[in-house]
Amino acid sequence: MFTGFTGPRDRADRADRARPPVRSRRTAWLSRGMVHVLVMVLVAEVVMAITTVGPLLKPAATHDFRPPPPVTKPFYPVTTRFYADPHNPAASWVRVHPRDRRAAAIRRRIADQPQAAWFTETNESLVQEQARGLVDVAAARRRLPVLVAYAIPQRDCAQYSSGGSGDAGVAYRRWIDAFTRGIGDRPALVVLEPDALAHLGCLRKRQRTERFAALTYAARTLQRRAPRTRVYYDAGNSGWQPARTMAARLRHAGIDRYGDGIAVNVSNFNATGDEVRYGLSVLAELRRPRLGVVVDTSRNGAGPTRKHQFCDPPGRRLGRDPTTATGIPGVDAFLWIKQPGQADGCAAGAGVFIPGYAYRLTGRAAPR
């Protein structure tokens, strides 16, 4: 066993060993020298390879890298139940046509499901009355209503759902004030102005500034005067604006101060997974972990068409039922924001209920 100590016997043993001839020592020296040279060459080649390839493997601008913000769990408990309005378009049609062969499927799969109520009426008194009636009944039944504020001027860039209040200044503020008074202190979930931020290309610079101010006012008013309401700004969908562009627009509209989250895929058909990824990407750009995402799953059961048609495309299906049990951190709910069966503006006027379209969404072939 080695002890670290060299005694006399060890020294004597080494002295008795024969020394190698001089030629052998020179040969060994040359061999060691060649090894050293080869090692140095190899080291040089490795350094050059690292220097050349290293930058290609590194992500660009690593000094600017910021870790993504933490994502909070969904805001609503999984026991939350949404309000199914008995006056939604499908339910109203079924009451009038109870003997129609399509009525049973439409009632069970669409009319009885919770879906958003859209507020488009420009009469302020009527809007206030309708909002109050909805939230009062929902609160009495211990259900959470979903309301869509859809009255901003040029809301659809003069396409299929053009209209809105008279202007983005005084008129729209009066409308929001009335809408907010109707909600009051009742619990509610509000989707704020679909298309308003994704559709900015049709507006002049001054009009864009007015729209940002109008949305900021709307969210601030709801936050302060309807304290039990959560406000989700519409953020388009994954096939529309890039996440960074949408995040910048949301900031201009005051989401970091007055919003509770974003709504994606409203009235569209994109797959839920794509919309979840897009929504979370927008939140990552905003860097506001408290914000959440709600996804419109009303008609995306078959996903989009090959060409991503957005106006009454054929062959679509109902998507996942409304629920807060998303199982995805940061995603607060899957909702039916678009009311299934309503036209987008191609098969009929925007908002018109088409029973044949509704029936096909249930996955049934039209009866002969």
Name the residues annotated as catalytic: 156, 195, 344
Q: What type of residue is 243? A: A
Q: How far apart are CA 362 and CA 112, in angstroms?
A: 13
H or E element, residue 234: strand 229-234
* Helices 170-183 and 205-225: angle between axes, nearest 10 degrees: 20
Q: How far apart are CA 349 and CA 133, in angstroms?
A: 27
Tokens representing 272 are: 């839920």
Q: Tokens 């062969």 identify what position? A: 101
- Is residue 332 within 8 A of residue 292, CB to CB? The reply is yes
What string of DSSP letters covers 121-180? ---HHHHHHHHHHHHHHHHHTT-B-EEEE---TTTTTTSTT---SS-TTHHHHHHHHHHH
- Is residue 336 within 8 A of residue 127, CB to CB? The reply is no
Tokens representing 125 are: 């008194």
DSSP bridge partners of 82: 144
User: What's the first-to-final CA gap in the chain, in angstroms?
Assistant: 98
Q: What type of residue is 158? A: A
